[in-house]
Structure 1
C-alpha cells in the first residue's frame, strides 16, 4: 500500500520490512540513519514507548504505538489503528451517540475502543474474560458484559469484532450467531485475512451493513502515509494495491 501511494504521487520514498529483535537498537538506528518513519507491530507496540521523545496523547491513553515519525532526530509515537477503525466505520455511519457492542478486550480492541470513545460513541465491551472487559470499559467510560448470547440480544447500533475469531489460521468461525444480526445493524470485522470473513458474509445475508477489515487496514496505513510524507494519501491507489495483496 505505501509503495503504491508513493508511486502514485511520484515521491522518492520506499517502505521496507525489517525483522527486529532489539527494539532499542532499532530506534537508535532510526535516529542515526535519518529514517523518516517506522511502522511498529507486535510485540513492540508497548516496549517502544519509553524509547521515544514524545507520544501523541491518544496513543498514550491507548498505551500502544504503531507509528514513529522522526523529525530531525526527535522521535514521536502515534497510534493509527484507532483512526483506521473509526474512519472505516465513518464511511457508512456517524459514530457520535451510536451504541456500540465491541467484542474483545485485547490490544486491537483497546485501540478500537478508544477511537470509538473519541468519536462520542457509547461502548459496551464484551469479552470472555469479564475482568478484562471491565478494565477496558473503565478506561473509556463504557460498560462491560460477558461475551454470550445475552450480549448480542442487547440493543445496539454497531457491532465490531476485535477478537481473533474469523482469522483463517486461528478460528474461521463467526463469533456472532447469525440470528443476532439485524438488518438495521452496522457490523465491522477487523479481521482482514480473509477479507470476507464468515461474520461479514453472514451480516450481508441478513441485510446488515458490513465493513470488512481491509477498510481499517487501508485507513490506518493512509494515516501513516500522512504522518510520514505530509501529503494527502492517494486512497484509490493504496486500496487497489491492498486488494491485490489480500484478494
Structure 2
C-alpha cells in the first residue's frame, strides 16, 4: 500500500530515535491489517518539543509516541491527560481527537498485559518489586491498586521512599517501601505471589548477574523481569529451572506498543507479528 493524500501519519518524537524498533513494529502491523497508516521516527531537540506537539495538530496527524527525554516535558502541551499517566508523571502516547490532544502512558498497561496474557491475575496478590526508578513508576501505578500488598525495594533509600509516599498518597492499598536489604527481601519473598525486577541487573553485557539468588525463588512464584536483552536473563533461567512462571520484559515492550496501536486504530493489533518485529529489531531471532 503506497502513501497517498489519505494516509494517516503517526510519529515518534524523542532524542535519539534512530535505535527505535517502533517504526518496524507498527508499520508491519499496519500493512498486515491493510491500514492506510505510516509511522515515522523524528528526532526532536529539547527546545522544540512544543513545536513538535503543535505540529501534530497542524498536520492533523493521528497521533504520536513520545520517548526519552520528552515524556515529561510534552505533558504541558496536551489538552487532556489520562489520570494514571498524570500520577506517573510521564506520557508515551498521544491520540489526536480532531485537534484535541489526549496523552496516556502505555508502559504500565504493557506490563499488566504481559502478565495477564500468561494467565496471571494481579488481584489479591502480594507483589514484591526491586527497583524504584523510571520503569518502576508506570508498573507501580498499574499494579499496586489491585495488589493485596505491594512491596518496593531500591538501593537508593530516598528513591524508594519518594515513590512509596506518592503511591500511598494517590492510591488505596497496602504499600510499603524499603531500602534494599538481603534479609528483608528474603523475608518478604517467602509469601509473595509475584516478583518483579525493575532494575537493569542482568542486562547485556552483565548476563550472569541476577537481582536475587536462586534459592529465594519458588515454583509457585511468578517472576517478571523488565530486562529484555538478553531475552532470557539469569533471573528467568533460574525461575524456569525450578519450574516457576518466568515472563520476559520483551512482552512489556511489545504490549505497550500494542496498546498504543489499538488506541490509534481502534483495531485489534496483530500481536505475534509485532513481537516478531521487536525480536528481529533486537537481533534476538
TM-score between both structures, scaled by the size of structure 1: 0.94
Q: Does 1:95 align with 2:122?
A: yes
Please name the residue that 1:152 is paired with. Answer: 186
Q: 1:65, 1:77 within 8 Å by CA — same for their partners in 2?
A: yes
Q: 1:49, 1:55 within 8 Å by CA — same for their partners in 2?
A: yes
Mean CA deviation greater in 77-86 or 22-31: 22-31
Which of these residues, 192, 196, 206, is aligned with residue 242 of structure 2?
Answer: 206
Find the residue that maps to 1:153 and give its secondary structure: helix
Q: Relative to 1, partners in 2 of residues 1:41 and 1:122: Cα closer, same or farther, differing over 3 Å? A: same
> CA separation in 2, counterparts of 1:62 and 1:119?
16
Post-superposition CA distance 1:54-83 (Å, at most 9, x none): 101111111110101111221111000010
Please name the residue that 2:77 is paired with. Answer: 51
> CA separation in 1, counterparts of 2:57 and 2:85?
21
Q: Relative to 1, partners in 2 of residues 1:233 and 1:118: Cα closer, same or farther, differing over 3 Å? A: farther
> CA separation in 1, counterparts of 2:61 and 2:134?
27
| Unmatched runs of 5 consecutive residues or more in structure 1 | none
Which of these residues, 175, 182, 185, is aligned with residue 211 of structure 2?
Answer: 175
Please name the residue that 2:142 is paired with. Answer: 115
**Superposed CA RMSD:** 1.5
Aligned residues: 246
> CA separation in 2, counterparts of 1:244 and 1:61?
34
> CA separation in 2, counterparts of 1:32 and 1:191?
38
Q: Does 1:66 align with 2:66?
A: no
| Unmatched runs of 5 consecutive residues or more in structure 2 | 1-24, 169-174
> CA separation in 2, counterparts of 1:23 and 1:202?
43
Q: 1:153, 1:180 within 8 Å by CA — same for their partners in 2?
A: no
Q: 1:99, 1:122 within 8 Å by CA — same for their partners in 2?
A: yes
Post-superposition CA distance 1:205-235 (Å, at most 9, x none): 1221100011111111110001111111121
Please name the residue that 2:231 is paired with. Answer: 195
Please name the residue that 1:140 is paired with. Answer: 167
Which of these residues, 222, 226, 236, is aligned with residue 186 of structure 1?
Answer: 222
Q: 2:127, 2:147 within 8 Å by CA — same for their partners in 1?
A: no
Please name the residue that 2:154 is paired with. Answer: 127
Post-superposition CA distance 1:66-122 (Å, at most 9, x none): 101111221111000010011111223110011111111111101000110233452
Find the residue that maps to 2:129 and give its secondary structure: strand
Q: Relative to 1, partners in 2 of residues 1:212 and 1:121: Cα closer, same or farther, differing over 3 Å? A: farther
Shift of 1:138: 2.4
Q: Does 1:4 align with 2:28?
A: yes
